[in-house]
Structure 1
Amino acid sequence: MKRGTGFSWGAFFGRWGVLIAIGLITVVFAALLPTFLSPSNVVSILRSISIVTVIAIGLTIALAVNGLDLSIGSTATLASALVVSFFVWYSLPFSISLALALILSLSVALVNILLIVKFRIPDLVATLSTMFIVEGIAMTYTGGGSISEGMPRLDGTPTDGTIPPLFKALGQVPAIIVIMLVAVALVHIFLNHTRYGRLMYATGGNLEAARLAGIPVDRYRALAYVLSALFAAVGGILIASRIGSAQVNAGAGYLMPAVAAAFIGFSFAGQGKPNAIGTFAGAVLIGVLENGLVMMSVPYYSMNIVKGTILALALASTYWHKKH
């Protein structure tokens, strides 16, 4: 602390550390890689973080009520399998397939609500259980394999359904980036500028105090898990759209980056709480790092070291600031 000025370097880096880190990493990679800041590569980074951001935005809402949803990756996998199967196996139209996939994926939220809100099981344990259950359901539904155009059903029945071009366009630039930005904007407005968002923060800040103040805390916790599952399902649909098929455990790889992005966002602008803009900044940080390392030919299997380190640092920073 500089005496007499009221300025604290610790507070400054605590508030803007994520942006400073993004800036420093960008400068280093730009110096080492001449094409790193090219328009095409910037678009590539935004495209690569779009799905992670959408899934992490849902997790951010769960964190706002002091919850944690580890089933988001499995929910994304289920939504991905459902929507592609509706196209390929049952030849359903675009709008009906999307609506059914979203609605059926929300059943994951109902299980989480039952375990957490009704049975009072800790969210970490409850959503971990749900993660395995939903993962198994998705694997059973697809027969443990992928679903793509021309593949027969599990009983060997031939299929002639196709994936609509409009659906495939959702996972491409610019649509996927626009969807990401709209999701961030909507959740930012919801959490910070609506009564529901403020009551969610109150519930997450002190559950008993919120209950004594007359806030229906169970209702808001349930809503948080519904929205978390909804955004995870949207993320799963974008995964299927981007690759044009449903792959085994397609959403599993998005769990850890989404958790890291959401927790990194806690410290953004000194908010000290889950927030949509911070989550987006956390996803950008992870995306910039991954993109730069790939361009430097770092082996893909080493990426988890970087992701795990980022998550550990984010958690350490978050809980250190809570204690101080």
Structure 2
Amino acid sequence: MTAQDNTPAAKSTTRTDDGIRDILRSGAVFILLAALMIGFTLAQPAFININNLMSILQAVSVVAILGAGVTVTLAVGGFDLSIGTVAASSVMAASYFMIVWGFGAGETVVLVLALGAAIGLLNALLIVRLKVPDLLATLAMMFLLTGLQLIPTAGRSISPGLILPDGSTATGKYDPLFLTIGRSSLFGVVPLPVILMAIVAVALYVLTERTRIGRLLFATGGNELATRLAGGPTDRLKTLAYVISGTLASLGGIVVAARVGRGDVSSGGSLLMDAVAAALIGFAVLGLRRPNVFGTLVGAVFVGVLLNGLTMLNAPYYTQDFVKGAVLVGALALTYGIARKA
């Protein structure tokens, strides 16, 4: 260091540069999000309309819920590739329970959530007990569920009047109370799925950031052996993470089923990638560089704003995935690049 570097002016300049880096590192995603919203508003003033903003939040609610599940598995050093198919299977299961078996809204919701928890528990069994790598275990579960959900209806989507494989006709219908989950709004403004998203985000934020269990989850992901030697129940923590992930994926499937009112065999196709994108963008939020629920929520909104704006500008649908990927790479590169220089 030269004599000039020790002058008050040089120290002031260094502090200013460090402050700018800190702001960019912690607020890169917010800066990009604000730039996107301003740009889309200037190009299409209807973008900033309250109804459109609520539409964006409703559209990203399922992605945020699934992304929160991904975040919990990332916290323990794992990764759940099956969440998209768990959500899709939950859509089919909810439809089957009501259309074919004639169940009501209450029992359908309970059974579907239990299904998601059971799938998460099975994933945990493969990973924790049988020591199957998490990517392989959840990938196998993804393929299993993709095929399994088609068997009860011989590959057909589920709607009232469904012709079953044995030639009979299903006589059930969607419970109107169930449909309110995806279609109703609080005070006619805030969609119910947005409220569910907020409840999930707050609950998981408190669990992961404000409780001993949350600290142990991150400790397991950081150094599982050290956490185990310190007395942490790492197997139970990993099991909890995958059960939470499966349950939240089923909740997302319930919201989708209630919104579309149909068990579509193609539902959930893009949910995995969007949820993962939201969770990864979350690494860049506030410069934390680790999985966090608040960041995942911001990441989901970021993706939703981007897609909604592109749609309003009539951008070709086949360019959207490229733009999503480019923005994801840019956000992460900016955050990690600034952190490295600092």
Same fold (TM over 0.5): yes
Partner amino acid, structure 1, of 2:327: I
In the other structure, the counterpart of 2:215 is 198
* Secondary structure class of the residue paired with 1:35: helix
Correspondence 1:238 to 2:251: no
**1:35 touches 1:41 (CA, 8 Å); kept in 2?**
yes
Correspondence 1:49 to 2:78: no
Q: Return the alpha-carbon distance in structure 2 between the equivalents of residues 98 and 156 of structure 1.
A: 28
Query: Given the superposition, is the C-alpha separation of residues 295 and 6 from structure 1 closer, same or farther in structure 2, using an over 3 Å criterion?
Result: closer
Give aligned pairs, total: 324
Give matches, 1:240-255, under 5 Å.
Answer: 240-255=257-272
* Secondary structure class of the residue paired with 1:190: helix
* Secondary structure class of the residue paired with 2:274: helix
* Secondary structure class of the residue paired with 1:146: coil
* Secondary structure class of the residue paired with 1:215: coil
- Identify which of 107, 111, 122 aligns with 1:111: 122
Q: Return the alpha-carbon distance in structure 2 between the equivalents of residues 182 and 321 of structure 1.
A: 33
Give deviations 1:107-136, integer Å, cap 9, x for gaps: 321331122112222212221121111111
In the other structure, the counterpart of 1:35 is 46
* Secondary structure class of the residue paired with 1:140: coil
Give deviations 1:21-54, integer Å, cap 9, x for gaps: 1100001111110111011111111111111111
Correspondence 1:277 to 2:294: yes
* Structure 1, 115-124 or 42-51: larger mean CA deviation: 115-124
* Secondary structure class of the residue paired with 1:142: coil
In the other structure, the counterpart of 1:175 is 192
Query: Given the superposition, is the C-alpha separation of residues 31 and 214 from structure 1 closer, same or farther in structure 2, using an over 3 Å criterion?
Result: same
In the other structure, the counterpart of 2:305 is 288
**2:24 touches 2:338 (CA, 8 Å); kept in 1?**
no
Correspondence 1:83 to 2:104: no
The CA RMSD over aligned residues, in Å, is 1.9
Give deviations 1:187-210, integer Å, cap 9, x for gaps: 111111122111101111111111
Partner amino acid, structure 2, of 1:290: L
**2:76 touches 2:217 (CA, 8 Å); kept in 1?**
yes
C-alpha displacement of 1:6: 6.9
In the other structure, the counterpart of 1:120 is 131
Partner amino acid, structure 1, of 2:64: T
**1:263 touches 1:314 (CA, 8 Å); kept in 2?**
no
Q: Return the alpha-carbon distance in structure 2 between the equivalents of residues 220 and 163 of structure 1.
A: 37
In the other structure, the counterpart of 2:168 is 157
Partner amino acid, structure 2, of 1:292: G
Correspondence 1:216 to 2:233: yes
TM-score (norm 2): 0.89
- Identify which of 18, 27, 33 aligns with 1:7: 18
In the other structure, the counterpart of 1:227 is 244
C-alpha displacement of 1:312: 3.5
* Structure 1, 171-180 or 312-321: larger mean CA deviation: 312-321
Q: Return the alpha-carbon distance in structure 2 between the equivalents of residues 243 and 112 of structure 1.
A: 28
**2:123 touches 2:137 (CA, 8 Å); kept in 1?**
yes
C-alpha displacement of 1:321: 7.5
* Secondary structure class of the residue paired with 1:67: coil
Correspondence 1:166 to 2:183: no
In the other structure, the counterpart of 1:256 is 273
* Structure 1, 147-156 or 43-52: larger mean CA deviation: 147-156
Query: Given the superposition, is the C-alpha separation of residues 303 and 47 from structure 1 closer, same or farther in structure 2, using an over 3 Å criterion?
Result: same
Larger radius of gyration: 2
C-alpha displacement of 1:63: 0.9
Correspondence 1:144 to 2:161: no
Give matches, 1:285-324, under 5 Å.
Answer: 285-313=302-330, 316=333
Unaligned 5+ runs, structure 2: 1-10, 186-190
* Secondary structure class of the residue paired with 2:18: coil
**1:78 touches 1:105 (CA, 8 Å); kept in 2?**
no
